[in-house]
Amino acid sequence: MLAQVKMIAEPWDVAGYQLGGFPADWSEWNGKFRDDVRDFWRGEPGVLSTLSQRVLGSPDIYEDSRRAPLSSVNFITAHDGFTLADLTSYNEKHNEANGEDNRDGESDNRSSNYGVEGPTDDEGINAFRTRQRKNFLATVLLSAGVPMILGGDEIGRTQQGNNNAYCQDNEISWFDWQNADWELHEFTSKLIHLRRSDRQRCGRSGTATPPTSAARTWSASSAQTASRSRTRTGATRRRAPSPSSCATRAPTRSCSC
């Protein structure tokens, strides 16, 4: 009954962070993928070599134990922390509504607001933020390993800078369908289609074909952080189920795509 169960770890225990330390049949949430990809796209220097490891399925972590790239669950955001929209809109967490004087939640978010803290009417900043979200999604979906996307990231869901919204059963954590970014949704769908088509070719031949068209949308440029100017805009929201993180594994270990 349990033979086909997929075992996926968030690799923490009492001894600390244990990424790469699980048995061969396990997959692990790869926090190094998250951190290195965030650093690369926000323009941190000296991370290109580590980015190449993450895109290739993190062989620096798994190869010595002869584990396949499918051991790596690649993600940028998860149920706790910033959403993708907030990762590209805020330099700092804004958890005041949680009632703990903004002390709760992770402070090291490796995020960037690209000039303005929070929502803005600046078309240039908004366009750059959208491009960065596409960069992140493309990196996750076109890297070797198991992609995991936080529900709502594909439509630009925001938590208004709150990165610890487990206690917010209100418009902070709900889906704002009225203001959903359907163009980003379409872009994500095309990336998934591209990944699946490459995986099918890989399953037949045993080697993967490098992605092409969707990868061309990437932008390696980075914006300089300017002075913060916080702007709030109103939104009518409908309540929807809480977001979830879903990982989809490829059907065969002979393929690393």
Position 202 scores a pLDDT of 53
Which one is predicted more confidently, 156 or 201?
156
pLDDT for residue 227 is more than 70? no
Position 16 scores a pLDDT of 82
Position 199 scores a pLDDT of 67
pLDDT for residue 242 is more than 60? no
Top mean pLDDT of 55-64, 128-137, 246-255 is at 128-137
pLDDT for residue 101 is more than 50? yes
pLDDT for residue 75 is more than 50? yes
Determine the average pLDDT of the residues in 235-248: 42
pLDDT for residue 241 is more than 50? no
The structure tokens listed for 56 are: 């290739």
Residue 103: burial class (beta carbons within 10 Å; 0-12, 13-18, 19+): exposed
Task: Compute CA distances 62 → 19, 30, 59, 72, whole Å.
Answer: 9, 11, 5, 8
Q: Using an 8 Å Cβ cutoff, are 153 and 246 in contact?
A: no
Position 12 scores a pLDDT of 82
Position 243 scores a pLDDT of 41
pLDDT in tens, 164-177: 999 999 999 999 99
Q: Using an 8 Å Cβ cutoff, are 148 and 75 in contact?
A: yes
Determine the average pLDDT of the residues in 25-29: 92
Determine the average pLDDT of the residues in 158-185: 97
Position 49 scores a pLDDT of 93
* pLDDT level of residue 24 (50, 70, 90 thresholds): confident
Task: Compute CA distances 166 → 14, 70, 198, whole Å.
Answer: 23, 29, 37
Position 235 scores a pLDDT of 41
pLDDT for residue 204 is more than 70? no
pTM: 0.78
Tell me, letter by letter, the H, E, C secondary structure of the chain: CCCCCCEEECCEECCEECCCCCCCCEEEECHHHHHHHHHHHCCCCCCHHHHHHHHCCCHHHHHHHCCCHHHEEECCCCCCCCCHHHHCCCCCCCCHHHCCCCCCCCCCCCCCCCCCCCCCCCHHHHHHHHHHHHHHHHHHHHCCCEEEEECCHHHCCCCCCCCCHHHCCCCCCCCCHHHCCHHHHHHHHHHHHHHHHHHHHHHHHCCCCCCCCHHHHCCCCCCCCCCCCCCCCCCCCCCCCCCCEEECCCCCCCCCC
Q: Report percent pLDDT > 90 for the chain.
A: 67
* pLDDT level of residue 83 (50, 70, 90 thresholds): very high
